[in-house]
């Protein structure tokens, strides 16, 4: 795998090193030459791997899968060379490089509950962003059944780990530990992939307008997205029951009778959803762990499907408490 130093990379390793059907052969990092458990002491006793250089020629050519847990924009610089080196490997990218507009290059958008049939044979999978995962899973059922909302308004909160391991002004945890603020109002990068996925789901590709306000919170992990589905009619059926039917058979989807708590999904691949109908509006609250379900866990889930393993193999994880 590429990018063992970051939060997404170490979370991916935590899952893969304990997966009963996976052997982690190599991990790349800017710390090449160091033992992996020296860089991430939390992995002591799970691996004796030594980090390798990120040059594609350093990879074993017989790898079955390669994961890219790199900063946005970095995967596209090496993926062609990796594919040429590891000709039989399935590729899983956790960044945003191939989420929109890369279908012609063979990339499949890796949101299993919505595109499971395409993932079984996918050789290249672009794993969704954390906000996009929460919002799409919270809105997709409504777009697939009449009556469809005429507008969707979302406010969604994220923890500081979503900004990565490198401290930046405004995202470093000490600067946000006691505050809450909106950012990238109506201009977040995940909007493009949300709308792109909506077009594949909605009949004739007709999608409602999206108004999305992301907010940073003092939490370390978690996405908490409130999606407001606005309808023309005051009454539009029992939406919660429809969501339960839509996600029947999806092992990580839990439609609740009360609003979710992000603590109940921390460290897991689960998505908790609450649906409440009102007068002309339905609110759908979706909650997930941004590092697991919003990144590493979702990539492993896609890998399981691609290698015809049980979808929840190695991912049945209890929440971290407290």
Q: How many residues are present in the chain?
A: 322
> Residue 101's CB: how many other CB atoms inside 10 A?
11
List the Cα angle 240/156/312 in 5-degree steps: 60
Residues 6+ apart with CB under 8 A from 283: 226, 227, 228, 229, 275, 276
Q: Is 304 exposed, middle or buried (0-12, 13-18, 19+ CB in 10 A)?
A: buried
Check: CB of residue 292 under 8 Å from CB of residue 268. Answer: yes
CA distance 154 to 213: 6
Tokens standing for 166? 């490198």
Give the residue numbers marked as catalytic: 130
3 phi-psi bin (left φ>0, alpha ψ -120 to 50, beta other): left
Residues 6+ apart with CB under 8 A from 310: 304
Check: CB of residue 36 under 8 Å from CB of residue 43. Answer: yes
């Amino acid at each position: 795998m590429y990018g063992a130093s970051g939060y997404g990379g170490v979370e991916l390793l935590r899952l893969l090193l304990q997966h009963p059907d996976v052997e982690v052969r190599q991990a790349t990092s800017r710390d090449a030459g160091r033992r992996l458990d020296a860089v991430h002491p939390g992995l002591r006793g799970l691996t004796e791997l030594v980090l390798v250089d990120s040059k594609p020629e350093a990879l074993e050519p017989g790898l079955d899968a390669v994961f890219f847990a790199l900063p946005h924009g970095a995967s596209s610089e090496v993926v062609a060379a990796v594919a040429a080196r590891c000709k039989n490997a399935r590729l899983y990218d956790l960044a945003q490089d191939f989420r929109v507009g890369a279908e012609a290059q063979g990339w499949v958008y890796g949101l299993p509950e919505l595109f499971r049939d395409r993932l079984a044979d996918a050789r290249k999978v672009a794993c969704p962003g954390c906000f996009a995962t929460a919002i799409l899973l919270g809105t997709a059922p409504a777009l697939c059944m009449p009556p469809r909302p005429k507008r969707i308004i979302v406010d969604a909160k994220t923890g500081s780990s979503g900004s990565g391991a490198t401290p930046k002004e405004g995202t470093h945890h000490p600067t946000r530990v006691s505050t809450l603020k909106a950012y990238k109002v109506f201009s977040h990068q995940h909007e493009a992939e949300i709308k792109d996925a909506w077009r594949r789901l909605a009949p004739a590709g007709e999608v409602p307008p999206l108004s999305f306000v992301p907010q940073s919170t003092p939490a370390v992990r978690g996405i908490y997205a409130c999606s407001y589905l606005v309808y023309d009619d005051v009454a539009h059926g029992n939406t919660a029951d429809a969501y339960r039917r839509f996600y029947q058979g999806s092992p990580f989807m839990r439609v609740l009778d009360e609003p979710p708590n992000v603590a109940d999904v921390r460290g897991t691949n689960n998505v908790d959803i609450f649906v409440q109908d009102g007068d002309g509006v339905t609110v759908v609250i979706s909650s997930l762990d941004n590092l697991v379900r919003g990144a590493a866990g979702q990539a492993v889930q896609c890998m399981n499907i691609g290698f015809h393993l049980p979808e929840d193999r190695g991912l049945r994880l209890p929440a971290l408490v407290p």
